[in-house]
Amino acid sequence: MQTIRSLFIHKWTSDVSLEGKTAIITGANTGIGKETAKDLAARGARVILACRDMAKGEQAARDIMREVEGARVLARQLDLADTNSICQFAENVYNSEKNLHVLVNNAGVAICPHDITVDGFEMQFGVNHLGHFFLTFLLLDLLKHSAPSRVINVSSSAHTMGRINFEDLRSEKDYHPVSAYAQSKLANILFTRELAKRTEALGVTVYSVDPGMVNTDITRHIRRPLVDVFKRFSTLLKTPAEGACTTIYCIVSPENQLLTGGHYKECATSQVCRAGLDDGTALKLWAVSCHLLGICWR
């Protein structure tokens, strides 16, 4: 099994230091986000774990400090399903941080039953796309001030099944959990492309990432028998640390080795589906997202 695993799980290491850098990682109390946080802390970065549940966030911060000598990590409350919470989080960041060099939009909710955010958006589109879109909008001045800086949007190969359903973005007419997840992950890619164009000249580069199939709690909303099948092959799935590798690659690789607006998988550039290359849809999604959030972001 180990031999089969080693055929498709990419081994990549780097000893780049992030001393003097500050990073924010959403959904960092568990899974891929927590492993990303641990790695950045080990490289000397100051890391803010942006978590909706403070008890879980503080526990994750303690775990990382126990495992990484001298780690500078702290947990802050952020519920991406609530625009007031996102505003409060951003205000706290501006009050406490002089710089922000890395923003990892990692948190995600997947394949859940129909639900809505505090602001009335469909949950997966609301958290995975709109929540991160709004957070990035609010933190962009600090990222620009700290340039060169980077934004990493954690997407998924599920984006290939996605379509942006502009006619029913709130899923009021119809809701399918897998389609809603795929739509949100396609939105991560389109947001990456459009944001990259707008920020390249400002020294803020942007990348989308597919972590691969990773053994985390992302399956929490999926029906038990299906999860059991998935977990039966758990030795073939990546560990959360392996799942964090491409995100870390996009944070520490020299800028001239990366392409802003690009998509990365297995620590290398990767193709996106045709819908993910549609700049017209990316622009329309940008405008519609601004409209839904009531913001002006040119």
Interface positions with ligand NAP (CB under 6 A): 26-27, 29-33, 52-53, 56, 78-81, 106-110, 127, 154, 156, 211, 213-214, 216-218
Residues 284, 292 contacting (CB under 8 angstroms): no
- Is 181 in the active site? yes
Of residues 147 and 239, the one with the C-beta less far from ligand NAP? 239
Of residues 147 and 241, the one with the C-beta less far from ligand NAP? 241
In the complex, least distance from residue 79 CB atom to ligand NAP, rounded to whole angstroms: 5
Q: How far is CA 181 from CA 84, 89, 133, 152, in A?
A: 23, 25, 16, 18
Of residues 27 and 162, the one with the C-beta less far from ligand NAP? 27
Residue with tokens 């031999």: 3
In the complex, least distance from residue 147 CB atom to ligand NAP, rounded to whole angstroms: 25
In the complex, least distance from residue 20 CB atom to ligand NAP, rounded to whole angstroms: 26
Fill in the amino acid letter for 281.
Answer: T
Residues 236, 4 contacting (CB under 8 angstroms): yes
Structure tokens at 27: 């959904």
Query: Which parts of the chain are beta strand (E)?
Result: 22-26, 46-51, 72-77, 102-105, 149-154, 204-210, 263-265, 268-269
Strand order in the sheet with 149-154: 72-77, 46-51, 22-26, 102-105, 149-154, 204-210, 263-265, 268-269
Of residues 111 and 169, the one with the C-beta less far from ligand NAP? 111
What CA–CA distance (Å, rounded) separates 273 from 282?
A: 13
Query: Which residue is catalytic, options 181, 207, 249, 264?
Result: 181
Of residues 26 and 199, the one with the C-beta less far from ligand NAP? 26
Structure tokens at 47: 């890391």
In the complex, least distance from residue 272 CB atom to ligand NAP, rounded to whole angstroms: 14
In the complex, least distance from residue 249 CB atom to ligand NAP, rounded to whole angstroms: 15
- The catalytic residue positions are 181
